[in-house]
Structure 1
Amino acid sequence: MAGERLVYLPLGGAGEVGMNMYLYGYGKPNKERFILVDMGVTFPDMDGTPGVDLIFPDIEWIAARADRLDAIFITHAHEDHVGAVGHLYDRLRAPIYARKFTSHIARLKMEEHGYSGEEIEVVGPMPHQVQVGAFKVGLMPISHSIPESSALVIDTPEGRVVHSGDFKIDETPGLGEPFDREAFGSLGPVKALICDSTNVFSRHEGRSESTVGPNIVPIVREAEGLVVATTFASNIARVRTLAQAGVDAGRSVVLLGRSMQKMVRAGLETGVVTDFPPYLAPEEAGDIPRQNLMILATGSQGERRAATAQLSRGKFLGFSLKEGDTVIFSSKTIPGNETSVGQIVNNFSEMGVDVIDDKMADIHVSGHANRPDLEEMHRLVKPQILVPNHGEHRMLREHATIGEAGGIASVVAPNGTMVSLSGNRPEVVEFIETGRLYLDGAVQIGALDGIVRDRIRMALNGQVVVGVLIDEDDEALEPWVELRGLAEMGRSKAPLADVLEEELGQFLGRANGATISDDDKLEEQLRRIVRNTSQSEIGKKPEVVVLISRLTA
């Protein structure tokens, strides 16, 4: 219609791997009505986000327009696509649509936050479509590393849009629906393909999930002691493969870790898994000889509280490892997790435990399309426009270059870039401010609020707390200091606390009445003295907290 446009706006997941959240809108500029695709999280690290529990996209822009948000669609049940649904739903309040397994996981997350779960509607796969405003949306089965992953087929007044979601071309996934070339090849004409870019730099063809099992079975069969295998809990196909390898080797299988138990139960309850091998709860395995056990544990990415990390530090739920045991990492380490995973591997090495990972054996395949698979998707769908998503900026840029080389009008659109899909080529029409929200304990805080920044500064610089008592005559009594995260002795070979108290005491003894009576001036001077003296003594300028107490007559 004249004056109306179709727009795409990523709020998370474009310019990064994880934290996926994308908007599609249609209508007159600044009056569009929207649908939201996915509500994901990413995970913190001690270097950049110490103490933070989870990280969400900043939804301020769409929350301010929640009256124009008609629906939320979830493509699949990975945390980076569904993990924020319970945390952020209160500010959006639109109906949620997903397939059965994904709905089950989303409903559990909603119930954790006090919702009934009725906010989520289960929808069947294509050809079924849901009409929401100007959009008609269908969930099309696509192969990935979790059951019932879906691409979205979005019919709009401007033409058909295909949102790939996470995918790979796997016609023998073992669990879940295989990739259907005929179905994707018959979607045209397609106005725009918004497409996963995670593995764009991998030039070899992707391997099928079905190739993993034959490589794992002999490792388990030949192991002499206790075997522990870890992978993504959500990759139920891999968990099943590992469990079957244990059973085939004559071992009893134990699921260790809440998320793995939850995912397997969800698969069984929703019917996407019908033939999972028998397994035991941890408390049922106490009398089984260790050489007859195989443990499937959470924590393939080095998560400190997960089962694998706890086993590497000693004992977990009665289980411990020793020399001659084997740990299998049937996963790829996500960039950023190398240090934590490496620490776990070294802990096991010190115990005499053998560790086997994907660099030593073909025991993992990615759930994302490599470059040849992406090019195949382009050929099948034949879009007029390509917008790469789900990837770091370099990945988006490389994917767009591939699209242009294949004659597809392409654009790089990181988070906050609103793109019009209405013309013959994608057009950037607006930039909006995007950022991150942190779950810090029980509250959500903004990335720019300064809380985490202050935490990092304290970690880098240490802290000095200064206390000063001013009596009724505006006379300062002897100050005291408390050190946190700082060396106790300085260059003068005297305790740093004593040196600081001496310097502060001398200043207070000679300060004039105007300074002593003005809290702001006094605090500024005391802070300067502490930082300068600490720099001289230990080579650091700490964060300083000044507590001034005044006695009144």
Structure 2
Amino acid sequence: MTDTRLEIIPLGGLGEFGMNCMVMRFGEDIIVIDAGIMFSEVGHFGVDSMTPDFTFLERHREQVRAVILTHSHEDHIGSLSFLLKKVNVPVYGTPYTLRIVEPRLEEHHLLPATALRVVQAGETVEVGAFSIEYIRVSHSTVDCCALAITTPIGTIVHTGDFKFDATPVCGNAIDVARLRTIGQRGVLALLSDSTNVERPGQMPSERVVIPALEEIFDRARRRIFVSCFASSIHRIQIMFDLAQQFGRQVVAVGRAMERNIEIAERTGFLDTADLLVNPKDFKHFDPSEIVVLASGCQGEPMGAMARIADRSHRQAWMEAGDTVVLSARQIPGNEKAISKLINRCYRNEVEVIDSTQARIHVSGHGAQEDLRLMLEAIRPKYFIPIHGEYRQLYRHKLFACQTLGYAPDRVLLIESGDVVLLDGETAQIGDKIAVNRVYIDDTCSLELDETLLRDRKRLAYEGVVIAGVAVEETTGALLGPPEITTRGYLGVDGEEEEIAELRDVALSAVEAMPPAERVNGGKEHFQEHLRLALKRHIMRLTGQKPTIVPLVVVV
């Protein structure tokens, strides 16, 4: 690496949805743009989320100058605490974004030691060799920015998540004029969101959902339960506006919903019009006087909406004739959980309305026309699609080449771990660094290694066989027949004949070892001898590989 080249290295977010994390290095200076999570997938036993692998940053920790946040969504800030435990550097972000970050840092006991630097849209910060300008963009949450990053060899624009919404419900519209000015000044490379590249046209404004929601409020005669993402401040503002219009009070249920409403109101992005009431007062209102904003729109078992539907929530419940509005998209992988939530709601004899029945949700990511507008505003020398699975990245490249006439060699199609090298005139893909997923158990906020995950998977699919043997301390004599216990082992649980066969195998293994060796050769050696005997027998008869736990007790 020389002082005349810029490295761009995605640690996550390319070739996958989530874990957005982009590294830029020039000379001895590194900045990190966003640090997000990806939620668990099927087959990840006990895993709640995944973070990027920060080994590269740990290895070069003396060069890391700052983390630059574009906005407050979990796929952009969710792994920040895990990163800061490895590399403690200042964190830059807009006021609302940093307010959302604070409680997460506090949970990890990092808040006092973390330097949070507030940046308003339109301001520029200097970090090492980088000059970073925050530019207002529109998205499904508030206080979101693209970044114009000036380096010694040229300017890089990172869009973050965006769409062209000229009439946002909260805050100011995307700063198109500034984007065009930066484009006219000359941009070396554009890194642009690819999420909705497969959708034609332009993504509508958040205001497009108002008519359908207004109709729902108009015809509802009892309680209205609205579940959306707690980060969807535009949508939440619409609910407060409609509540005021139709003479209803608002109850916020769910920790994330309550916290985000409080932060958005404190930072000036939300006007609750004094309609927000304490959840404890839910029972005091007539059903026609209340609207409930509940988190858990993805059917999370412990989410507020699921507990309300199950009538297990302490402060809110639904009854026959109420209306439930699911005003959010279904995140891929959550379809079954959302279906279960809808079924639970129907058991209460309520009306359920989701985005398949009415236009009550709109994406915060730009469609093809938005992507075209961004490319035309920035007019970069090189274009790098980001944020999406490989098909979105590939389609974004095709879109740029076929629709806007970009030469294929001017569009770099990269994935997480690829290293892009720019020298001001040329761009090329260099060596790839190893990037893995790090698995997180949210109950204890700990990282889980691959071995632990493999063990959990084996236990789930193959079961466990426990073999207990007791021997005399001085002679090594067997004090009784081996005890065999199984859990989840197919074809054996409860079958006394097969249990007896496993007991015989264990007994033969013990008898094959001289008594003196049982105590003098070490317990670990004895246990491994017993484990291998059972493993070979089970594998020969069934082809299965259960986890075998030998327990040798010396009395």
TM-score, normalised with respect to structure 2 = 0.91
Structure 1 residue 321, shift from structure 2 partner: 2.5
* Structure 2 partner of 1:321: 318
Residue from 65, 71, 81 that aligns with 1:70:
65
Residue from 24, 45, 51 that aligns with 2:46:
51
CA shift digits 1:116-170 (9 cap, x unpaired): 27601112222x2111221110110000011110000111111111100011111
Distance change >3 Å, CA 265–CA 490, structure 1 → 2: closer
* Structure 2 partner of 1:20: 20
Determine if the alignment matches structure 1 residue 483 to structure 2 residue 479.
Answer: no
Structure 1 residue 317, shift from structure 2 partner: 1.9
* Structure 2 partner of 1:549: 553
The whole-number CA distance in structure 1 between the counterparts of 2:298 and 2:113 is 30
The whole-number CA distance in structure 1 between the counterparts of 2:481 and 2:5 is 70
The whole-number CA distance in structure 1 between the counterparts of 2:312 and 2:445 is 32
Q: Equivalent residues in 2 for 1:239-254 (5 A)?
A: 239-254=236-251
Identity of aligned residues (%): 31
* Structure 2 partner of 1:91: 86
Residue from 34, 38, 41 that aligns with 2:34:
38
Residue from 99, 119, 136 that aligns with 2:115:
119
Structure 1 residue 220, shift from structure 2 partner: 2.6
DSSP 3-state at the match of 2:101: helix
User: Gaps (5+ residues) in structure 2?
Assistant: none
Structure 1 residue 498, shift from structure 2 partner: 4.6
* Structure 2 partner of 1:206: 203
Structure 1 residue 513, shift from structure 2 partner: 5.4
CA contact (8 A) 2:72 2:97 kept: yes
CA contact (8 A) 1:229 1:329 kept: yes
Determine if the alignment matches structure 1 residue 175 to structure 2 residue 160.
Answer: no
The whole-number CA distance in structure 1 between the counterparts of 2:232 and 2:121 is 21
Distance change >3 Å, CA 277–CA 214, structure 1 → 2: farther
Give the letter aligned to residue 501 of structure 1: R
CA contact (8 A) 2:158 2:192 kept: yes
CA contact (8 A) 2:30 2:64 kept: yes
* Structure 2 partner of 1:418: 419
CA contact (8 A) 2:19 2:75 kept: yes
CA contact (8 A) 1:164 1:194 kept: yes
DSSP 3-state at the match of 1:170: coil
The whole-number CA distance in structure 1 between the counterparts of 2:350 and 2:272 is 31
The whole-number CA distance in structure 1 between the counterparts of 2:139 and 2:429 is 30
CA contact (8 A) 1:466 1:480 kept: yes
The whole-number CA distance in structure 1 between the counterparts of 2:427 and 2:310 is 52
CA contact (8 A) 2:135 2:175 kept: no
Point out 4+ residue stretches in structure 1 off by more than 6 angstroms. Answer: 535-539
TM-score, normalised with respect to structure 1 = 0.91
Residue from 357, 360, 365 that aligns with 1:360:
357
User: Gaps (5+ residues) in structure 1?
Assistant: none
The whole-number CA distance in structure 1 between the counterparts of 2:517 and 2:323 is 68
Give the letter aligned to residue 482 of structure 1: T
The whole-number CA distance in structure 1 between the counterparts of 2:544 and 2:354 is 42
* Structure 2 partner of 1:307: 304
* Structure 2 partner of 1:103: 98
Q: Equivalent residues in 2 for 1:424-435 (5 A)?
A: 424-435=425-436
Give the letter aligned to residue 485 of structure 2: E
* Structure 1 partner of 2:392: 395
Q: Higher mean Cα deviation, 69-78 or 473-482? A: 473-482
Q: Higher mean Cα deviation, 536-545 or 406-415? A: 536-545
CA shift digits 1:10-35 (9 cap, x unpaired): 111112111111111112xxxx4111
Q: Equivalent residues in 2 for 1:467-506 (5 A)?
A: 467-471=468-472, 472-476=474-478, 477-486=480-489, 494=496, 497-506=499-508
Structure 1 residue 427, shift from structure 2 partner: 0.6
Give the letter aligned to residue 283 of structure 1: K
Determine if the alignment matches structure 1 residue 197 to structure 2 residue 205.
Answer: no
Residue from 218, 222, 233 that aligns with 1:221:
218
Distance change >3 Å, CA 536–CA 325, structure 1 → 2: farther
The whole-number CA distance in structure 1 between the counterparts of 2:103 and 2:550 is 46
CA shift digits 1:424-481 (9 cap, x unpaired): 4531112111112233343533553x11121111111111221111223223331112
Q: Higher mean Cα deviation, 57-66 or 466-475? A: 466-475
Distance change >3 Å, CA 57–CA 361, structure 1 → 2: same
The whole-number CA distance in structure 2 between the counterparts of 1:133 and 1:269 is 32
Structure 1 residue 66, shift from structure 2 partner: 1.5
DSSP 3-state at the match of 1:55: strand
Distance change >3 Å, CA 537–CA 227, structure 1 → 2: farther
Distance change >3 Å, CA 534–CA 75, structure 1 → 2: same
* Structure 1 partner of 2:294: 297
Distance change >3 Å, CA 290–CA 39, structure 1 → 2: same
Determine if the alignment matches structure 1 residue 260 to structure 2 residue 261.
Answer: no
CA contact (8 A) 1:221 1:249 kept: yes
The whole-number CA distance in structure 1 between the counterparts of 2:220 and 2:491 is 50
DSSP 3-state at the match of 1:255: strand
RMSD: 2.6
| Number of positions where the alignment pairs a residue of Structure 1 with one of Structure 2 | 543
CA contact (8 A) 1:487 1:496 kept: no
CA contact (8 A) 1:38 1:72 kept: yes
Distance change >3 Å, CA 279–CA 266, structure 1 → 2: same
The whole-number CA distance in structure 2 between the counterparts of 1:180 and 1:502 is 77
The whole-number CA distance in structure 1 between the counterparts of 2:56 and 2:2 is 26
The whole-number CA distance in structure 1 between the counterparts of 2:188 and 2:396 is 18
DSSP 3-state at the match of 1:295: strand
CA contact (8 A) 2:14 2:388 kept: yes
Give the letter aligned to residue 158 of structure 1: I
Structure 1 residue 379, shift from structure 2 partner: 1.2
Distance change >3 Å, CA 425–CA 305, structure 1 → 2: farther
The whole-number CA distance in structure 2 between the counterparts of 1:158 and 1:192 is 11
The whole-number CA distance in structure 1 between the counterparts of 2:114 and 2:120 is 17
